[in-house]
Amino acid sequence: MKSSGQAGDDVPPAQESGSSDPAADDPDAAFLAEFMKSFDDQEDAPDVGFSLEEATPPADPTEQAKQLSHQIARALAALGPQGWRQLEAVFVMSTSAELAQVFYADDQQRLARVQPTDEVIGLVREHRHVSAQLGDGPWWRLLLTLASTGEIEVDYDYGDEPFPDDQLFPPEVYLADLEVYPHSSLPVWLAAYVGHGDRQSRPAHIAAEQSRADREAGVRGLRSERDFPAFPIMSARWAVIAAAFVAAGSQWGPRVLPALNFFEGAKRSGSTLYALPGGRAVLSGGVWNAPELDAAYNRAAPLPRVYSGAPEWVANPVLNPRAANGLLSFCYWWEAGNWYRGESPESEHLSAAVPGIWSSETVVDVVSGLLAENPTEQQRASVATLVSAAEAGVTTRETLVGVFGDEGKFDIDSALYQLMLAGVTTTVPQQLSRAEAIARVRQFILDQDLDTTGYPLDKLRADRISVGWMVYVPTEPGEISIGRAIFYIADDGVLEQSSSSVAPSVYAVEFEQRFQQRHGSVPN
């Protein structure tokens, strides 16, 4: 499989070869000849040095690979359009699939893409075959950079890092290649890519089946008492770190979405924390090159049963995406006030995949480090206040300003939004006036077309309660009324209808609790 390409519009296309006198047909021929000679003149070329004379292939595979690199570079140089100054080539290869990308740039960094010839591809194939003798199997990608002045760099990619998506072949291509060039071991990501077989996937119906089977067999998750903080505290700390990184304008660090916290570390480890109804949660993710995954994919050890004892709601929709490609190395779930896990490592082995939520002090250290290289005691104290407020669910914009200031250096509003999505902010709505409360209740009665017989709206009265008003029409002296309408309107505009059958002292308490659930703990 080869990529197709042609010279770009900004740079003339590659010259046709075949003239007996290149200098006569091509004004750049002298330049090209001088360019070729420049390789011979380099005494300390970074990778190889070649001459135009054909040479007998050396017996040493290392020297043979260098000579082939020279020949590839020379052939690519001859394909370049007029005026090129640097070329970059990527060859992705296996025994059954091939991909080649070759780009040339001129002095203005205008790019032209040229299709390599069969001669070049043949040299690259030969190079890959030779490279198989240099280590544990041949390279998967060859990256070559060449300057018109003769400097050359050649890198061999054996898969230490995942290949770009547009340079990744289907798993069966790599499996076929491994039949020809066996490896004693593969990078964990590649071994999982070709060998995971969806064994970590847990669709809802499979989750239900496995959960029932575990219950019948008496298999239960291991209660995890000291690995992670309680879910609400953990989520709040996660949000504080996310808010701090967002405030600083960093592309790194954790982030918060509705019902989802996620984190991707700089070294390819990461995790997700999903919140589910009923106060439940799922924390899962992967540590890059986890030894248990290496053993499973490279040494045929059993995959860890990370879902052992898990309830049926621990399923794909709330699992880290690594489960889809076999790179999930841990899964914890929170229910009934406790964390549980199956065959997952303890938290001390997961620090690379989870943000610093282990303690309030850890969060203070992380956030303070974003403020200054050597934060002051006052800065650390303001961060500690922010952490405490988040854990209590009462952070405000002023809490953030106390940490980051309000001079425009930090993005306070975006940081506050992260905290709001995590549900750890509180807002104190402006208190409704008595007249506004009565007017809104009167309009509600009219809009709902409620029966106002014996309930004259011009006699509506409002009594202040802790978070709003109780609005009603008082009874006349000596009048007895059972089930008389009473309306409660909060300062945020939420209106509820009750009746005299429920004691106002009882209803008002529940009304205030619902208000606090919407806004956090608001002082009276």
Grade residue 520 by pLDDT with cuts at 50, 70 and 90: low
Q: What is the pLDDT of residue 475?
A: 86
Q: What is the pLDDT of residue 428?
A: 72
Contact 38, 150 (CB under 8 A): yes
Question: What are the residue ranges of helices labelled H in 5-108?
Answer: 22-25, 29-41, 61-79
Q: What is the pLDDT of residue 56?
A: 61
| Cβ count near 202 (within 10 Å) | 25
* Cβ-count burial 285-324 (b if 16+ within 10 Å, e if not): bbbbbbebbbebbbeeeebbebbbbbbbbbbeebbbebbe
**Position 170 pLDDT exceeds 50:** yes
Grade residue 28 by pLDDT with cuts at 50, 70 and 90: very low
**Position 182 pLDDT exceeds 70:** yes
> In the chain, what are the domain boundaries?
22-183, 434-519
Q: Which two tokens stand for residue 420?
A: 């709001």
State pLDDT tens for residues 122-153: 999 999 999 999 888 999 999 999 999 999 99
Mean pLDDT of all residues in 437-449? 96
Contacts of 11 (CB under 8 A, 6+ apart): 81, 82, 83, 84, 104, 106, 110, 111, 112
**Position 442 pLDDT exceeds 80:** yes
Q: What mean pLDDT value characterizes the chain? A: 88
Mean pLDDT of all residues in 237-246? 98
Grade residue 55 by pLDDT with cuts at 50, 70 and 90: low
Phi, psi of 450 (to 5 degrees): -75, 150
**Position 8 pLDDT exceeds 80:** no
pTM: 0.76
Higher pLDDT, 249 or 41: 249
Higher pLDDT, 481 or 163: 163
H and E: helices and strands count for the chain: 15, 16
**Position 448 pLDDT exceeds 50:** yes
Percent of the chain with pLDDT over 90: 81
Q: Which two tokens stand for residue 114?
A: 């040229």
Higher pLDDT, 281 or 30: 281
CATH number of the structural domain 22-183: 3.30.500.20
Contact 241, 366 (CB under 8 A): yes
Grade residue 209 by pLDDT with cuts at 50, 70 and 90: very high
